[in-house]
Amino acid sequence: MDINHISDTLTTKKKELLFILLLLIFFAVQFRSLLFELPYGIHEWAQSDRLALAYGYYENGMDFFKPSTLSQFSKGGITGVEFPIQAYITALIAKLLGKAYISIIFRLLDTFIVGLCLFFVYRIAATFTRHFLLAILPPLVLLLSPCFLNYTCNYMPDTVSVSILLVGMGLYLQCWLQQKPLKRYAALILCTLATLIKTSSGIYLIGFVAYDVYRLYCNKELKKYVGYLASVLLSIAVLIACYLYNAYLNKTYDSSLFLMTIRPISLRDAGAFLLKRFPNTWLKEYFIIPAYILIVGILVYNYRYRKQYVLPRYFFSLNQVLLAGILLMSILMGSQFLDHDYYIIPIFMPFIVLQAYRLVIVSGQRAITRPQQKGIIVVVVILLSWSYISTQQRLSWQYKGFSDDYHAEWMKQGAINLKKAGVPAGAQIIALNENAPNLAMVYFDRKGYVLNHERWYGDFETASSFFRDRSVQYGVCELKELVKLLKQDGSFYTYFTPLWQDGEMIIFKTKEVHP
């Protein structure tokens, strides 16, 4: 028995149950974030926009092809957006359970999708090795990222897209290495779906499909897979059609909420990111520090045993294709890296997990002694605990380094206070000196507008005109913000009548002002 290993003594079903248990335990400890009913914290702006899509479907009819949010800056709130399948499913479930559950349904749905996909990533990796501990490496990499876990448990599409993509990538590897050619069809569908949900995932769709088609060409099998080639063309057509349709929605309904435009990085931005933003802020957000050591170890191991790769190698490698795509996307969208940590999720993380897949493939049959197994288990437990602590810190309302940018805390009782103030249920509102188009709307449970400082510069007469032009009678404002504004312009009470006030907010109504 000394040469047998823990993983060898377990049946396949027991291994799967162990991994499911690992996932359940780890996501269960994230349950604190699932209980938060509305967006808050890092990038609450983007979170609220995605959540508002579900409210839009729920309230405006379940027409999948007319996504809308609570912000009324576009006509009817309708906007073009990347494939909003999560928001649509959320709204469907909410039709059964009730509108009050939309937020937690959305969070649970995203968490379930990611957890399910990580399980399949493990199962695919397990087909390349007899060692349970090696098979958990690809999903483990993601579980060591506070950034990934944070967005898993809210409304953003990035982690869902990447998780689906990783299953598709794994199926392509099985197709190539285990002579399972039919799996390329499922792989193509999943990679296409991932790209529809988040365009940046297209780097890997293009890379894997191009590599696969080139393999078929070199093996003189193109005629054998005419149906697959037709599916590839259909995939491209669907992606182009969705892009054009979203552009049509944005133009027709005058929406700029989810504009899919390139944001190239300048040398100045790159310098600011590399010298300040990355080392001081995002470094600890992307992964916990020990995870970087693990990732470097994976890369070094793969390079050390590069000649043992069983992947066919032609005049270009899959890695080179993907790295070229990553570089191109980083240049085209790089200015977003300064302030948006979630942009790295679909651009960089699949490449890192692919390297973990490769390590499993290369070392799948190597012996692991019992002492080594015990050591690995201890390290995994320590890493997961570290990741949990880091993620929980990130979920704090007063998270150091970001607290000044949070704006949702004063809105916590927004919907309740609107009822106390007697604001009719169907009445629209305007939030003064707010920037995020949907954040106040989801907290106050109303459609409406935000009036940021650049639109009115603290002049209440201008603000009154904004209300009047949009036929909106009711407004909300953070109390301390209004106190600052009153020092600048004391004419607030000339144009507005307070209806409700507490230590956090003020709710008010417009007056009829006669010239």
Secondary structure of 225-276 as H, E, C letters? HHHHHHHHHHHHHHHHHHHHHHHHHHHHCCCCCCCCCCCCCCHHHHHHHHHH
Distance set, CA 431 to CA 60, 227, 407, 481 (Å): 22, 54, 12, 11
* Assigned domain for 71 exists: no
| pLDDT at residue 363 is higher than 70 | yes
**Tokens representing 492?**
């607030």
**Quick check: 7 pLDDT over 60?**
no
Residue 1 confidence (pLDDT) above 50: no
CA distances from 271 to 123, 266, 274, 325 (A): 41, 8, 5, 21
Based on the fold, state whether residues 310 and 354 are members of the same structural domain.
yes
Query: For residue 277, is it within any domain?
Result: yes
Contacts of 205 (CB under 8 A, 6+ apart): 165, 168, 191, 192, 194, 195, 235
Q: Does 432 share its domain with 312?
A: no
**What is the per-residue pLDDT across 137-173, written as a single tens digit (0 to 9) for each?**
999 999 999 999 989 988 999 999 999 999 999 999 9
- In a domain, residue 377? The reply is yes
Same domain, 186 and 234: yes
Same domain, 221 and 256: yes
Residue 172 and residue 243 share a domain: yes
| Chosen domain end from 343, 362, 394 | 394
Tell whether 93 is covered by a domain.
Answer: no
Structure confidence at residue 25 (pLDDT): 65
Alpha-carbon dihedral sign for residues 485, 488, 492, 498 = positive
Contact 87, 113 (CB under 8 A): no
Tell me the sheet residues that pair with 450: 431
Contact assessment for residue 300 and residue 162, using Cβ atoms and an 8 Å cutoff? no
**How does the average pLDDT of the chain come out, rounded?**
88
Residue 181 sits in the same domain as residue 328: yes
Give the tens place of pLDDT for each residue, 469-503: 999 999 999 999 999 999 988 899 999 999 999 98
Question: Do 148 and 228 have their domain in common?
Answer: yes
Ranges 119-128, 312-321, 358-367: which has the least confidence:
312-321
Contact 30, 389 (CB under 8 A): no
Q: Is the pLDDT score of 441 beyond 60?
A: yes
C-alpha to C-alpha distances, 504 to 39, 400, 408, nearest whole angstrom: 18, 22, 11
Q: Give me the phi and psi of 15, to 5 degrees please.
A: -65, -45
**Integer Cα distance of 157 and 410 in angstroms:** 26
In a domain, 73, yes or no: no
Any domain includes 89: no
201 has pLDDT over 70: yes
Domain span holding position 430? 409-510
Of 394, 426, 458, the residue at which a domain comes to its end is 394
Report residue 2's pLDDT band, with 50, 70 and 90 as the boundaries: very low
Residues 417 and 332 in one domain: no
**Within-domain flag for 103:** no
Domain count, the chain: 2
Same-domain status, 388 and 416: no
Q: How many helices (H) and strands (E) does the chain have?
A: 25, 5
Do 387 and 418 lie in one domain? The reply is: no
Same domain, 418 and 304: no
The span from the CA of 11 to the CA of 26, in Å, is 23
> How much is the pTM?
0.92
Strand order in the sheet with 474-478: 448-451, 429-432, 474-478, 505-510, 496-501
Q: Same domain for 370 and 491?
A: no
Residue 4's pLDDT band, with cuts at 50, 70 and 90, is: very low
Boundary (domain end) residue, out of 338, 366, 394 = 394
Average pLDDT over residues 380-401: 84
Q: Is the residue at 77 inside a domain?
A: no
Residues 117, 161: contact at Cβ < 8 Å?
no
- pLDDT tens digits for 31-89? 666 666 789 888 999 999 999 999 999 999 999 999 999 999 999 999 999 999 999 99
